[in-house]
């Protein structure tokens, strides 16, 4: 099965003062009252079923991601316990998928 992982990590320090640690840029509603996360999801919606779209984000932002993407199953919102850059987030997401589906393609 094919899966998509939306990488939505980061602390939001580069778009200051709009983004900040409590609300990073991927969660801000910047365009047409939609966040960058929502826009990324809408690009995928229709091509990949919601149950095969995952979001990897910081644990602190998992609730906000769930609010912004209520279509996704809550188990598809991967709240990374400790942010350690993109490679670790990609590896962790791949490991979660491999555990769920041994034939997963990301």
Task: Report the CATH number that the domain containing residue 93 is assigned in CATH.
Answer: 3.90.550.10
Residue 106 lies in a domain: no
Provide the number of structural domains found in the chain. 1
Residue 56 lies in a domain: yes
- Which stretches of the chain are assigned E, i.e. beta strand? 4-8, 29-31, 34-35, 53-58, 77-80
pLDDT cut 70: percent of the chain above it: 81
Residue 89 lies in a domain: yes
Distance from C-alpha of 2 to C-alpha of 4, rounded to nearest angstrom: 7
Residue 105 lies in a domain: no
pLDDT tens per residue across span 4-31: 999 987 666 665 555 555 666 677 677 7
The three-class DSSP label of residue 12 is coil
Residue 54 lies in a domain: yes
Give Cβ neighbours of residue 12 (< 8 Å, ≥ 6 apart). Answer: 19, 20, 21, 23, 24, 25, 26, 27, 28
Confidence at residue 83, expressed as pLDDT on a 0 to 100 scale: 65
Q: Which domain holds residue 14?
A: 4-100
At 75, is the pLDDT very low, low, confident or very high (cuts 50, 70, 90)?
very high
Q: How many CB atoms lie within 10 A of CB 68?
A: 20
Confidence at residue 21, expressed as pLDDT on a 0 to 100 scale: 57
Confidence at residue 20, expressed as pLDDT on a 0 to 100 scale: 55
């Amino acid at each position: 099965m094919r899966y998509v992982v939306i990488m939505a990590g980061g602390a939001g320090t580069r778009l200051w003062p709009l983004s900040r640690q409590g609300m990073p840029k991927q969660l801000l509603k910047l365009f047409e009252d939609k966040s960058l996360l929502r826009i990324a999801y809408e690009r995928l919606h229709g091509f990949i079923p919601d149950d095969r779209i995952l979001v990897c984000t910081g644990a602190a932002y998992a609730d906000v991601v769930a609010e912004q993407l209520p279509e996704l199953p809550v188990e598809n919102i991967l709240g990374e316990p400790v942010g350690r850059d993109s490679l670790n987030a990609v590896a962790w997401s791949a490991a979660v998928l491999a555990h769920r589906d041994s034939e997963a393609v990301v």
